[in-house]
Structure 1
Amino acid sequence: MSHSTWQKSSYCGEGDSCIHVRSTATAVHLTESSDPTDSILTLTPTTFGALLTALKANTHPAPAHVTFTPANDADAPVRVHGPGVHGPVVTTDRQKWDAFVLGVKAGEFDHFVDA
């Protein structure tokens, strides 16, 4: 199923920058509207679905990877990257990531992986 417009979590404030998601017939794309690198992470629907499942279960999200650098700092940047070590990395902050996760837990992005 293809969703050509970017969607952000309803937990993001109106007009706020946030993680945005959209899909094509074969991929799901993530970006952060305020990321100065304009990176777009492209995942398969299966990989995106695994990320959603992991976030809903509060487990470490794999195969898509999320890193908090440094890990114990609440103000640390959050970096989201796909499987492997090469390719785009979407960078956001903890507040925007938490808003995205709340949207995930509310099922706001499930339609990106539903057949």
Structure 2
Amino acid sequence: MTELAWQKSSYCGEGESCLHAAAAPDGTVELTESSDPARTVLTTTRATWASWLQALKAGDTSAAGIEVEAAPHDGIRIRSAETPSHVVTTTSKKWHAFVLGAQDGEFDHLAGT
């Protein structure tokens, strides 16, 4: 099994758990919450990932293929059309850190661009 090079936003504090993203060898992009004991992984195509990053840069939280919704207790749920049964749950603080990193282009390379 290939070890993925997981990356978190530079806006996450040192040593803090956060949303982590990685490019997989099969050409997909994976997203997980590092503090999730179940290690749920959302998988999406690079094209969907690129579209989502563009939406985040424009201030929109969702794009075709990825849905973001509020959850109880200051939570955020993220799901992909490619793996709708895999729901990544995080906090609004960690989500905000991820979005800031996405807006700064920190995850653009995962889209293969």
2:106: which partner in 1? Answer: 108
Greater alpha carbon shift after TM alignment, 84-93 vs 105-114 = 84-93
Q: Are the counterparts in 2 of residues 79 and 89 from structure 1 also a CA contact under 8 Å?
A: yes
Q: For 2:83 and 2:6, locate their aligned partners in 1 and report how far apart those are by CA, in whole Å.
A: 25
Q: Are the counterparts in 1 of residues 42 and 83 from structure 2 also a CA contact under 8 Å?
A: no
Unaligned runs of 5+ in 2: none
Matched letter for residue 27 of structure 1? T
Shift >3 Å, 4+ stretches? none
Query: Please, what TM-score do these two structures have when normalized by structure 1?
Result: 0.86
2:79: which partner in 1? Answer: 81
Q: Deviations over 1:17-49 (max 9, x none)?
A: 000000124100000001132100000001111
Alignment of 1:25-64 (within 5 A): 25=25, 26-63=27-64, 64=66
Q: For 2:23 and 2:8, locate their aligned partners in 1 and report how far apart those are by CA, in whole Å.
A: 13
Q: For 2:70 and 2:82, locate their aligned partners in 1 and report how far apart those are by CA, in whole Å.
A: 17
**RMSD across aligned positions (CA):** 1.8
Between Structure 1 and Structure 2, how many residues are aligned?
A: 109
Secondary structure in 1 aligned to 2:5? strand
Query: Please, what TM-score do these two structures have when normalized by structure 2?
Result: 0.88
1:76–1:84: structure 2 CA closer, same or farther, 3 Å change rule? farther
In the TM superposition, residue 60 of structure 1 has moved relative to its aligned partner by: 3.9
1:27–1:54: structure 2 CA closer, same or farther, 3 Å change rule? same
In the TM superposition, residue 110 of structure 1 has moved relative to its aligned partner by: 0.4
Q: Deviations over 1:67-115 (max 9, x none)?
A: 1125xxxx52100000178321000000000000000011000001134
Q: For 1:59 and 1:103, locate their aligned partners in 2 and report how far apart those are by CA, in whole Å.
A: 14
- Equivalent pairs: percent with the same residue? 46
